[in-house]
Amino acid sequence: MKDYAFLQQKYIVNTFPNRGLILVSGEGVYLQDIHGEKFLDLMTNYGVNIFGYGHPEIIKSLVHQIQRLTTLHGSFVNDIRAEAAEVLVKRCGGGFSQVYFSNSGAESNEAALKFAVLATGKKKFVCCRGGYHGKTLGALSATDGKKYRTAFEPLLWEFIRIEYNRLPELEAALDGQTAAFIVEPIQGEAGIIEPSQGYLKRAAEICAAKDVLLILDEVQTGAGRTGVYLASQSEGISGDIVTLGKGLAGGVPIGATLVSHKIAEKIPRSSHTSTFGGNPLAAAGILAVHRLLDGERLAHIKRIGNDFVEGLKKIRDDYPDYIKMVRGRGLMIGLEVAGERDDILKKLQEQKVLAIPASDHVVRFLPPYIIEKKDVGLAADKINKILANLSKSRTKGVPSGGIPS
C-alpha cells in the first residue's frame, strides 16, 4: 500500500494541520478511513456536505449533469444555470434580484466588496472583530485575526473594525465615505457567537439611514444551517448584498453573491467574472439541494439541533469545570471548554467522532442535515465518556493531558 500521508505531505503545500486520518469514502453521516473504520461526521467538511455523503438525489442530479455538460462560459445561456439562479433569488427573497456565481465563500465575499465599490464609488468598509470572511486578499481585509492577516499586511482599501453586537459603535463608525458594513448573522470562526435579538434589524436601519450598504455574510449560516433558509430572515431583513457558499451545491465548489436591482445595474460587463462560476455541474447541485431543503427539512434542523444543544447542556451541568458554555442555533453549535480545546477534538476523533475548532476554546459542530436523534445521542455519550475519564484522571492526580479547570 502506498504511504498516502507521506505523499500528501511531500507534494501538497502544507498550509493545513494534519489530523492523522486517511479518509477515502463516505456514506450518510459517516466518513470512512483507509482501514474501513467509520467516523461520525459532525463537521461536514466545515459545513459543506450538508446532506451527508452519497445522497441519492444529489448523486443522481450530478451524474446526469456530468453526462450532459459540466462547464460552460458565462457568455452563453445555460438552462440549469438559469434555473439555479431563479431558485436562489426566490429562496433569498427580500430585495435581492440577481446572483453572481463563483466557486467559494471567500470568492462570494470578494465579489460583494467589489460590487459595493462599484455601486457606491467608495472604498471604506466597516467590519467586526472576530469576523471571518475568507482568505483571498479582499475578503482577508475584512477577516479578523493576526494569524490570518499579519504576513500580508498592509491589505486592501480601508477597513474599520468594531465590536460585534455593539450598535453604538456601528453608528459611530459609519460616515459619508463608507461603502458598506459586512457582518455575519452568527459569527462562526469566533466561536458560534450570536448577537442580541434585534441587532441585525437595527443594523440594517442604521445602514439605510446613513446610505451605507449592508452585506450579510451567510456563507456558514445560510442554506438552512440555522433552521431557516437565511439566518438573517429570522429578523425579517434582507440587506443589500448576501453571500453564500459551502453546501449550497451539495458538495461541489460554489459561491453566490446576491444583489438588489439597484446594485446590479451599477455592475458593468467584464468588471468581475469567473471561468468556472455558475458551471452547470454546480448549478445541478444547487437544484438538487433546494429540492431537498423544504419546510420539513428546516423544521428537522431546528428540532435535532435543539436536541443536541439540550444534551450538551446536561453534560455541561455534570462537568462545569470542563465546559463553560453551550451555544448555537439549528445545526450550528459551539461547545466552549475551560481549557485546551484541541485535546477534546483529539479525544473525540479517537472515539470516532469528527468535529472542528472555532476561536481558541470552542469545539464546533456543523452536522449534516440528515442527522438523527440517535446520532447526536451517540456524540453526547462520547463527549460524556471523555469528560468522565478526564475527571477521573484528575481526581486520582494522574496527568491526563486534559482540560485544566
**Are residues 86 and 180 both part of a single domain?**
yes
Among 273, 292, 311, residue at a domain's last position: 292
* Residue that is written with C-alpha cell 470512512 in the block: 32
**Model confidence band, residue 404 (pLDDT cutoffs 50, 70, 90):** very low
Residue 403 lies in a domain: no
**Per DSSP, what are the bridge partners of residue 333?**
328, 365
Identify the CA nearest to 338 among candidates 366, 315, 360. Answer: 360
Reply yes or no on whether the pLDDT at 157 is more than 60: yes
Three-state DSSP class for 353? strand
Total domains in the fold of the chain: 2
- Is 242 in the same domain as 366? no
Q: Are residues 168 and 74 in the same domain?
A: yes
Residue 405 pLDDT greater than 60, yes or no: no
Q: Tens digits of per-residue pLDDT, 263-284?
A: 999 999 999 999 999 999 999 9
Of 271, 282, 222, residue with least CA distance to 113: 271
Cα atoms found within 13 Å of the Cα of residue 346, Cβ hemisphere only: 11
Domain holding 99, by residue range, is 57-292
Is residue 236 in some structural domain?
yes
* Mean pLDDT, range 212-221, rounded to an integer: 98
Same domain membership, residue 88 and residue 230: yes
Q: What is the pLDDT of residue 399?
A: 45
Same-domain pairing of 169 and 191: yes
Q: How far is CA 123 from CA 213, 215, 218, 259, in A?
A: 12, 14, 22, 18
The answer to whether residues 221 and 79 belong to one domain is yes
Does residue 201 sit in the same domain as residue 302?
no
Confidence band, pLDDT 50/70/90 cuts, at residue 396 = low
Residues 194 and 255 in one domain: yes
- Of 260, 292, 324, the last residue of a domain is 292
User: What is the chain's alpha carbon radius of gyration, rounded to the nearest angstrom?
Assistant: 21
Name the pLDDT band for 398 (thresholds 50, 70, 90).
very low
Q: Which residues of 31-60 are buried (b: 16+ CB within 10 A; e: fewer)?
A: beeeeeeebbbbbbbebbbbbbbebeebee
Side-chain-facing half-sphere of 322: CA atoms under 13 Å: 26
Show the cell assigned to 118: 462599484
Burial of 343 (0-12, 13-18, 19+ CB in 10 A): middle
Domain annotation covers residue 353:
yes
The yes-or-no verdict on residue 288 having pLDDT over 70 is yes
Question: Is residue 32 one of the residues assigned to a domain?
Answer: yes
**29-36 average pLDDT score:** 97
pLDDT at 327: 96
Residues 172 and 107 in one domain: yes
Residue range 322-344, pLDDT digits in tens: 999 999 999 999 999 998 899 99
The Cα 278–Cα 281 span in angstroms is 8
pLDDT at 395: 66
Question: Residues 156-162: what's their mean pLDDT?
Answer: 96
- Given a contact cutoff of 8 angstroms between Cβ atoms, the answer to whether 102 and 274 are in contact is yes
Average pLDDT over residues 186-202: 97
Q: Tell whether 125 and 270 lie within a shared domain.
A: yes
* Boundary-marking domain end, from 244, 276, 292: 292
